[in-house]
Amino acid sequence: MKFSLITLATLAAPAFAKVYYAGVAESGGEFGVWNDNGVGRGLPGRFGSDYAFVNKTAIDVMVKDDKINLFRLRSFWSYFDLFYDAVQYVTARKRRYVLLDPHNYMRYNYHFAQPYSGSIIGDVNDPNAATTQDFKMFFTELAKRFRHNTRSSGHAFTTGNGNEPSSDYLHLMKDPLNNTAIEIHEYLDDNYSGSGANCTQPVSRLDGVTNWLKQHGLKAIITEFGGGVNPECAQALKEYIDYLEEKEVWIGWTA
Ligand SMILES: *[C@@H]1O[C@H](CO)[C@@H](O)[C@H](O)[C@H]1NC(C)=O
Ligand SMILES: *[C@@H]1O[C@H](CO)[C@@H](O)[C@H](O)[C@H]1NC(C)=O
Ligand SMILES: *[C@@H]1O[C@H](CO)[C@@H](O)[C@H](O)[C@H]1NC(C)=O
Ligand SMILES: *[C@@H]1O[C@H](CO)[C@@H](O)[C@H](O)[C@H]1NC(C)=O
């Protein structure tokens, strides 16, 4: 399970269970970092062949036929202008919501290895690490570019895979506007990573975090979950979505 924080564009707080946002996690700009020359050699990458943020035709289909209202758009550290275009397409043109996801886990490295390896941002002993100043500049710039876009919201930091130490701290964060939700990833395969084809974990694995959210008066959104293409997983995923709909703390998901 991975935790992160998002601030939501608009979050009302009714007393009943409500999924406000349901949609798709797009893979995106982070793939530009890799090419045939090897790990990390792809930067800055060629837009449209090494990477893209969205497939606009596919967005059109998902909005029209699947009636989804949220796209989680992943970007890398740069590419602001092209990313901006993708965000505008979803929010201004299609009038749907975007979760802005700078997909770096506070680390600089090869995207397939994230979040388990790489230079930790702010590590002064590592010459490859981005500095905390870089980190601040990045998020300031990101926030500046999208702060007037009421259909976008930010995704940020903290990672891990189960028994998160961050659960001792995340609830201490104070948002004066009460407009923050915790973002969580949880797959249904053996080690919750999404790399196995079989859905062996029951959705009741979410009970712990559901109770933690309730205990601290927090809301959350699952932005990565899924299973293999088989009937058992189809059933498990249905139960998963039903679970999120039943529990008041869950306000949305992207698969
Ligand atoms: C974009 O999406 C459309 C509709 O799903 C699909 O036909 C097309 O192949 C996609 N383009 C790329 C480059 O993946
Ligand atoms: C946020 O929630 C807290 C605790 O429920 C409440 O005291 C405070 O007034 C709320 N603030 C806003 C801006 O709604
Ligand atoms: C989870 O298990 C799969 C094998 O089923 C393995 O390939 C993958 O690296 C594991 N992922 C993590 C995060 O431990
Ligand atoms: C997934 O389940 C199928 C059917 O039960 C089984 O044949 C296969 O070995 C399982 N795969 C893994 C990686 O456990």
Domain borders along the chain are 2-254
Per-residue model confidence as pLDDT tens digits over 164-212: 567 788 888 888 888 899 988 889 999 888 889 999 999 999 998 999 9
**Contact (Cβ atoms closer than 8 angstroms) between residue 118 and residue 139:** no
Per-residue model confidence as pLDDT tens digits over 5-64: 555 544 444 445 589 999 999 877 666 555 565 555 556 667 787 778 899 999 999 999
173 ligand 4 Cβ < 6 A = no
DSSP state of 150: T
State the architecture of 2-254 in CATH terms. Answer: Alpha-Beta Barrel (3.20)
* CA 69 vs CA 17, 65, 143, 155: distances in Å: 18, 11, 21, 17
pTM over 0.85: no
Q: Which ligand is nearest to the CA of 58?
A: 1
* CA 146 vs CA 5, 60, 174, 230: distances in Å: 17, 22, 22, 39
Q: Whose CA is nearest to atom 9 of ligand 4?
A: 198
